[in-house]
Amino acid sequence: MSYLIASSLEEALTSLRDGSGKARAVAGATDLYLQEMPYGLVDLSFLKETTVIEEKEGLMSLGAAVTHALAASSPLVLSRARALAEGCAAIGSPQIRNIGTIGGNVINAAPAADAAVALVGLGAKAELVDINRETRTEAVENLYWTHNRSLVDSSKEIMVRFLIKPCLAGEGSAFTRFAARRALALPMVNAAARVKLEKGFVKEVRLVAAPARPAPTRLLKTEELVIGRPVNGETISMVEKAVAEEIEVRGSLLRCSARYRQHLVGVLVASALKTAATRAGTSGKAGD
Amino acid sequence: MILKAPEKNIRRYGKAEGTGYQSPEVWSKVTGKAVYGIDLNLPGMLYGKILRSPYPHARIKKVDTTAAEALPGVRAVLTGAKLESKPFGIAVEDELPLAVDRVRYIGDEVAAVAAVDLQTAVQAIKAIKVEYEELPAVCDPAEALQEGAPQLHDNFPGNVAWQRELVRGSPGDAFTGADLVVEENFTVPAIHQAYLEPISCVAVDDPYTGITLHTALQSPDAVRKIVAGVLNYPLSKVHVSGPVMGGGFGGRVYGNLKVYILSALLAIKSGSPVKIQLTREEEFTAGRPMIAAAIQMKMTVRRDGTILGREADIITDNGAYSAQAPWVSKTVSERNDSVYRIPSIKTRVRLAYTNKIPTGQYRAYGNQAANFATESLIDMAAKKLGLDPLEMRLKNCVREGDITVHGLQIGKCGLDECLKAAAKEIGWDQKKEGRGYGLSVAIHANGSLVFDKNFRGASALARLELDGRITIFTGEQDYGQGTHAAFAQIAARTLDVSPAQVTVESKETKTAPFSTGALAMRQTTIGGKAIQLAAEDLREKIFKTAAELAGAPVTMENGVMCSISGQELALAEVAYYNHSATSGLSMTGEGKFVPEESDYDESGYGNISIAYSYAAHAVEVELDKTTGALTVHRLVAAHDSGRIINHLTARGQIYGGVAQGIGMSCLEGYLFDEGRVANASLAEYKIPTALDLPEIVPIFIEIEDPAGPYGSKGLGEIVMVPVLGAVANAAADAAGVRVTGLPLSAEIIYQAISGWECEQ
């Protein structure tokens, strides 16, 4: 077995190519210990490209190897992409958050990964480069193949960074989750919302919930219903109902029944929307 | 040898009450120096591994170990067919070291191997071929008791492992024409003790000394008796040497007998030390969790709130083998009856065999399961009668001088004060809007003669070392509760020295007095009393020898003796004088505490303990009605455990026990999928994290009880008992409806609020 701490993106890509499918890119690798170890590991945790958090030309850039702890406490993430900070703060334990990364959270492809749900809620796009130096940019929700399987092949491709439109004046985001225990527990449901208000009415909105399908699920029909409305009690009740109708969830012995999860998903999406709208309203008034 | 008198200005630590003395043992733990079972590694040690049944119920047709035995590095392979063993057990003899012709649960031990390393042992286990013929299984205890159910044991017809029917007073009359009858069905799932360190054992077979089991146990003597019986070894040839214990909570009273027996058998067969270390998954699938219980209970109450009688029909789920489940079932069925003045009771309890993990004991021995049922009924009755739950409890709770319905003699008792103190501290009269409040009370015995009517007490030795220090030899175990600190304080107070001058030795059965061990909340009261008596005996001997040395009578203070002529003598001087005068004997005090015989009779009526501890808990919760999520904000734990010897460790007991009570109330419980444990990991069997716990406020009502040493009583188990009833009552207060199945998960509460049909 070999373990390379890559000192440049170039070196990482070369190592992957030399590994001919047997080496794998990692950042954090907290869940890898639960699986069978690949022959070679290429650690991306210390690259400039994968660890940067910055806002340039109206776009936020977050390295894929940014740890959950860093994302949860970054002033930029807290002010411009609050849902991600909240999602990252909810993951596992402090030890996991200090090691695990947001890119890993997406490529690990668990259906209700907290950072991934927040990223989809924010409308994040991932920038990837493969061993032939070809780059592509994809919406995060389009990177899922099936349950717990990513479309990103870590033996051939490296996720470099996420690009997120920052929440500016009149915009807000929020993340919610519900689990049996307050830490170290997979969620029964998690949800994220991003909303833009204009004169108190919803101009743009993204609503996302999980676990339902392999990828965090956008609630397009509910989003449509919300457009043009104020986020008041009536809208919140309407969202609770609409979400439960739009999304189909399953029950499990370990987590909860399908019926209860169906109820929760409505409550959580509505709650995320409400918080996001409050933040949007506040940021507008404060001239943030 | 040059003798040096100890420092004269020793701080007066000796007083038992009120100190926060920390035993130096704590430092070896927090600095990582303590050696736990998991750390043990002896020269030439082999690694043992157990092959377990993948079926809940099956006939073993054939076990082929040829391939396993041929593997390089494999030193011993055991199968049930090759062992000539009689059934053994703790309460009921229904187990064999390895299954011979039948397996009865997923996890049942089928074969065992020892190999030079763990990897080889795992390979060898995989190489053993077993042919099974699946048999119909029964996993629900009520179904198991029905006619036509698959039978688990030929000599336990009807799948009844143990049962009891009991009538005291006149329950029939009590229920006739009653003002109010409240009735409900309560369920409590099986609960794992979730100690941090999984059980392990290194067994050594030595032709001269016999078998030594290097394993941490709460009751080493009880275990070595059983192991000696199974191995057919003389008792004096089976020893237990205890490393530091990574948590017990009742789960290590008898621990995992299969692990000790199989590691010993493998050591005998291979001629080398053998270590078996359970994995966490094995702990959850083949450990000994506490029984699940279904309690159907009704209570009759007069209009003024006076309890007139209660009836219960209880089914407890034994799993495939019994361990301590009969005794735990007995506690579930009766202990809680003695916390109130209930004149009449009628009880039926049946312990049913099912094709699931065998069960054992957990902190509080099932008293907490009964607390959940009884205390829920009390609040239901109070609500229907329009009475204050606090007033109803104060009206009915036992008081000094009472003899309870089961014959328990209530001595010093501060239950009334506990209730008032807990209610006051939680703000019972100034309840906050939007919060729910609940109360609950408990009684728990300080040692019980139910196990052995003839062996009721404890003994100890106190030895004066040549340097003037004191060593206490006891069979009472410390696994983090702080028993050794308390023992050092008791001895120190008796001998008028600092507790830091006292070392407590308990881990070697070769040298420790025989003991019942750490169970039934007996150690401080009964074991501590024996230590007090041993220290008193030693003190007498010291005085006598010191007077001989000084040529005049002496008095002692702060470990320094003074003769009437003013001559000062250090303990070390006296020790050395005796040492020379006897050519090497140590001065040793013997303490034997033998409680009086009891009137405890065949029907189980009578006083089972020399003293009882009492508690009242009050809880404040908040409920999110949109999800059913319950937040326990605050828990006040008021306890009468007599005079507290060490407030630091006593508070620690309350924090830990309440945390486990919160876990059992809100989170924990085995989930089964047709006999398979579905949540066999700490990721899915959810014990509370620090974030899930409320603010915990301990209150001590210190009423000295002459039964225990310096007025003290036990605390370790009762701390958990009232949590369940108090949380359930607070949840019901907040929700407006009552949940009668544990744990009180958000989903179950939400179902109750919404009036959903249960979907379990």
Would you state the pLDDT for residue B430?
Answer: 97
Q: Answer yes or no: are the C-beta atoms of B479 and B218 closer than 8 Å.
A: yes
> Residue B6: what pLDDT?
38
User: Is it the case that residue B760 has pLDDT exceeding 50?
Assistant: no
- Which pLDDT value is given to residue A170? 96
Mean pLDDT of all residues in B584-613: 95
How distant is the Cα of A109 from the closest Cα of chain B, in angstroms?
19
Name the pLDDT band for B18 (thresholds 50, 70, 90): very low
pLDDT of residue B560: 83
pLDDT of residue B26: 87
What ipTM does this complex have? Answer: 0.94
Residues of A in contact with B750 (CB under 8 A): 260, 263
Residue B8 pLDDT > 50: no
Reported as a single tens digit per residue, the pLDDT across B220-230 is: 999 999 999 99
Contact B627 A185 (CB under 8 A): no
pLDDT at B564: 87
**CATH 3.40.640.10 describes domain B38-135+198-244+252-286:** no
Distance from CA of A100 to the nearest CA of B (A): 17
Least CB–CB distance from A183: residue in B626, B689, B745: B689
pLDDT computed for residue A283 by the predictor: 64
Q: What is the pLDDT of residues A98-147, one digit of tens each?
A: 999 999 999 999 999 999 999 999 999 999 999 999 999 999 999 999 99
The pLDDT value given to residue B2: 40
Domains present along chain A, CATH in parentheses: 2-164 (3.30.465.10), 171-285 (3.30.390.50)
CB pair distance less than 8 Å for B678 and A185: no
Q: For residues B9 and B32, which has the higher predicted lDDT (pLDDT)?
A: B32
Measure in Å the smallest separation between the Cα of A19 and chain B Cα atoms.
28
Residues of chain A with Cβ-Cβ distance to B756 below 8 Å are: 259
pLDDT digits (tens, 9 = 90+) for B689-704: 999 999 999 999 999 9
pLDDT of residue B450: 85
Give B-chain residues touching A254 at CB under 8 angstroms: 671, 678-679, 684
Segments of chain B assigned to CATH 3.30.365.10: 25-34+457-593, 292-450+601-754
Q: Which residue of A has its CA nearest to B681?
A: A254
Which pLDDT value is given to residue A211? 97
Ranges A60-69, B331-340, B564-573: which has the least confidence: B564-573
- Please name the member of B629, B686, B759 whose beta carbon is closest to the beta carbon of A259: B759
User: Between A35 and B379, whose confidence is greater?
Assistant: B379
pLDDT tens figures, B203-244? 999 999 999 999 999 999 999 999 999 999 999 999 999 999
Give how far the C-alpha of residue A231 lies from the chain's centroid of Cα atoms, to the nearest Å.
24
Cβ-nearest to A254 among B626, B684, B759? B684
Tell whether the model's pLDDT for residue B119 goes beyond 50. Answer: yes
CB-based contact A239:A222 (threshold 8 Å): yes
User: What is the C-alpha to C-alpha distance for residues B719 and B698, in angstroms, rounded to an integer?
Assistant: 10
Is residue B476's pLDDT more than 60?
yes
Q: In this structure, what token pair is assigned to residue A199?
A: 């004169």
Give the tens place of pLDDT for each residue, B646-665. 999 999 999 999 999 999 99
Which residues in chain B have their CB less than 8 angstroms from residue A260's CB?
747, 750-751
Of residues B626, B627, B759, nearest to A257 (C-beta): B759
| Candidates B139, B626, B662, B742, partner chain A, best to mutate (most A CBs within 10 A) | B626
Write the residue in B629, B671, B688 that is nearest to A254 by C-beta: B671
Q: pLDDT digits over B74-93, tens only? A: 999 999 999 988 999 999 99
- The reply to whether CATH 3.30.365.10 applies to domain B25-34+457-593 is yes
Q: Is the pLDDT of residue A284 over 60?
A: no
CATH 3.90.1170.50 residue ranges for chain B? 38-135+198-244+252-286
Minimum distance, in Å, between the CA of residue A241 and any CA atom of chain B: 13
- pLDDT over 90, % of chain A: 94
Q: Sign (positive/negative) of CA torsion B452, B455, B456, B462? A: negative
Q: Identify which of A178, A183, A256 has the shortest CB distance to residue B691.
A: A183
Identify the band that residue B5 occupies on the pLDDT scale cut at 50, 70 and 90: very low
pLDDT band at B758 (very low <50, low <70, confident <90, very high): low
Nearest residue of A to residue B745, measured between CA atoms? A180
- pLDDT the model gives residue A37: 82
Q: Is the pLDDT of residue A288 over 60?
A: no
Q: Give chain A positions within 8 Å (CB) of B689.
A: 181-184
Q: Which fold has domain B292-450+601-754?
A: Aldehyde Oxidoreductase; domain 4 (3.30.365)
Contact B241, B270 (CB under 8 A): no
CA B482-B484-B485 angle, 5° bins: 65
**Cβ contacts (< 8 Å) between B678 and chain A: which residues?**
253-254
Top-confidence residue, A37 or B427: B427
